[in-house]
Amino acid sequence: MATGRGRLMQQLWFGLQALRLPPGGAGAAPGTDREAAGPAGISFRKGPSARCAGRTTTLKQCAGWGRRCEQPSTVHPVSLERMPSEILLKIFSYLDAVTLLCAGCVNRRFYHLANDNFIWIRIYSTAFSPKRSNWKVNSAETTAVSMNLLSVEDKEAGYWKKEYITKQRASVKAALAQVLQPVNTYTGLPVKTKEALSFSFCRISGLGWVIILKEKNGKEYIMEHVDLSINDSSVTIMWYGKNWPQLATLSTLDLCGMMPVFMDRSKTPSKNGPRWHSLIAKYNLSNLTESTLIGWDRLIRIFCLHPGLLVGLWKREEELAFVMANLHFHHLVEKSTLGSATVPYELPPHTPLLDDNPECGLHGYQLHVDVHSAGIFYMCGTFRSLFTKKGSIENGYVKLVVISFKNNTEHLPLIGKVGLSWRTDVFNGCIKSCSIMDVTLLDEYGKPFWCFSSPVCMRSSGPSDGPNFLGHTYYVDYVDSEGKVHMELVWIKETEEYFIVSLVLYLRIAKINHWFGTTY
């Protein structure tokens, strides 16, 4: 509707300019019978009386001026940029909030005009008008009264636009709080996390993820995710294509959640509308070195950057093949929607629960571990009532034994052939001995204490030295700022499967003291 009004105003302007010229041009003979030439080749057909009246008026004007009518200059079509500000403001007043924001991105003049407080206060009062009482009031009168109550002239330009966006963001936070409120007592995670990340919800809400590749000269490339898979406690997001920038020119990679600035559940979000980026993690691409290399096959090499990012490079060209992000469910929706483009979402402050137990923070843990790739789960294990002792504190860590090497009854097999699947728009493959590990550790109160999702690989350490095993031993290690995971596996040749013979968590003492208010 707004576009139609804009075209109507433009055609009206063409007509006004055409009426300033005599029919057939100022130099045409009075007796010439032809159409009046309009701007840009547009002709206006008139009847005989109109042509005669037009010629008479032109001749009288020329006689009154006492001079010959000069040959007119070429008429240029009128663009929106040449229109007076008053007309543009009138056109902008018919636009909705999303279209008005887009119009403000055209140029500097449009940006300042699209910040007009009188336009935005009408949008604000219409969207957030107070609930009607039992008194019947005309909607136009209600809007007028609410606009009079709000201040316009004493506010700087763009004030009510910022207020509208801020309140829209607050409504998004309120909607997310309802989605994340019920918590699963079994996993300690929101019950509706999968629902919030499902395809249908993402399609309705516009939730998605992007990577922003930044060159050393400041140029940016924004790529939306191509594929998405939802696991039991994490989500795996893929980017691949043919238009990757050259790796040598890149410096950093930003992983961001993305949502429309304004949510309207009654409409499917437009791909061309304004989007809100929420920074999840920033990665330095100069770290793609041998120290971060975790596996390869005949086509690609894969590198792991913490937290949870996997980068695949073509072996021959040493250029980007794909990017895979593995994100744990814990606070994922908040991280993907409530941060800004430069500052990640800040977790709410944690208040320690005081406990008189002298070994508080050393017992009552519950662990859930998934090892998987491309929807295939090699291991799903839950371990309850885990504990340790003060004597197990060493080098700033406390040792939490999950599977004991000495207890054969605790050993678990990995189901299937372990490998990390990858794909691009041209090729696909599987890298042996690599997979994705999801860890969810709950404290004694059932709250998430340590959560991560990350690519891992099995490193060979030679034949097993233990008397109970005959086969090669492999290690899986993971380290971050909150703790370490050490897993030991043995390859059983007769049954062609891996057995987990040891699983140990090392929790950082500083994290325990902060979480429980202890002083170990």
**pLDDT tens digit sequence for 144-202:** 445 554 566 678 888 888 888 888 878 777 777 776 677 776 667 777 677 666 655 56
Residue among 85, 138, 147, 141 nearest 116 (CA)? 85
Most confident of 71-75, 128-132, 324-328, 491-495: 324-328
Most confident of 257-261, 314-318, 445-449, 453-457: 453-457
Dist CA 380 CA 412 (whole Å): 10
- Residue 255, Cβ neighbours under 10 Å: how many? 26
Dist CA 335 CA 325 (whole Å): 14
Query: Percentage of the chain with pLDDT > 90?
Result: 44
* Model pLDDT for residues 398-445, shown as the tens digit of each residue: 999 999 999 989 999 999 889 999 999 999 999 999 999 999 999 998
Dist CA 16 CA 477 (whole Å): 77
Residues paired with 452 in a beta bridge:
439
Most confident of 46-55, 272-281, 486-495: 486-495
- Options 1.25.40.10, 1.20.1280.50, 1.20.58.340, 3.40.50.970; CATH for 83-129+154-181 is 1.20.1280.50
At residue 10, the pLDDT reads: 57
- CB-based contacts of 4, cutoff 8 Å, min separation 6: none
Q: Which of 93-97, 191-195, 287-291 has the lowest mean pLDDT?
A: 191-195
Domain parsing of the chain, residue ranges: 83-129+154-181, 192-264+272-336, 365-516
Q: Which amino acid is at 196?
A: A
Q: Which amino acid is at 271?
A: K
Dist CA 276 CA 73 (whole Å): 48
Query: Residue 368, SS3?
Result: strand
The mean per-residue pLDDT over the stretch 369-378 comes to 94
At residue 271, the pLDDT reads: 66
* Model pLDDT for residues 29-83, shown as the tens digit of each residue: 444 443 334 443 333 334 444 443 444 444 344 344 444 444 555 555 667 778 8
For all residues of the chain together, what is the average pLDDT?
A: 80
Flag whether pLDDT at 358 surpasses 60: yes
At residue 469, the pLDDT reads: 59
* Secondary structure letter of residue 505 according to DSSP: E
The mean per-residue pLDDT over the stretch 375-389 comes to 93
Flag whether pLDDT at 122 surpasses 70: yes
Dist CA 431 CA 458 (whole Å): 11
The mean per-residue pLDDT over the stretch 217-245 comes to 92
What angle (nearest 5°) sits at the alpha carbon of residue 436, between those of residues 403 and 515?
60
* Model pLDDT for residues 313-345, shown as the tens digit of each residue: 999 888 999 999 999 999 888 899 889 999 999
Query: Percentage of the chain with pLDDT > 70?
Result: 72
Helix or strand holding residue 467 (H, E) = none
Q: Which of 224-228, 250-254, 306-310, 357-361 has the lowest mean pLDDT?
A: 357-361
Q: Which amino acid is at 342?
A: T
Most confident of 128-132, 145-149, 376-380: 376-380
> Do 489 and 474 touch, CB atoms closer than 8 A?
yes
Dist CA 85 CA 90 (whole Å): 9
First to last CA, the chain: 68
Q: Which of 18-32, 102-116, 133-147, 454-468 has the lowest mean pLDDT?
A: 18-32
SS (H, E, C) 145-162: HHHHHCCCCCCCCCHHHH
The mean per-residue pLDDT over the stretch 365-378 comes to 94
User: Whole-model pTM?
Assistant: 0.75
Query: Residue 506, SS3?
Result: strand
Query: Residue 419, SS3?
Result: strand
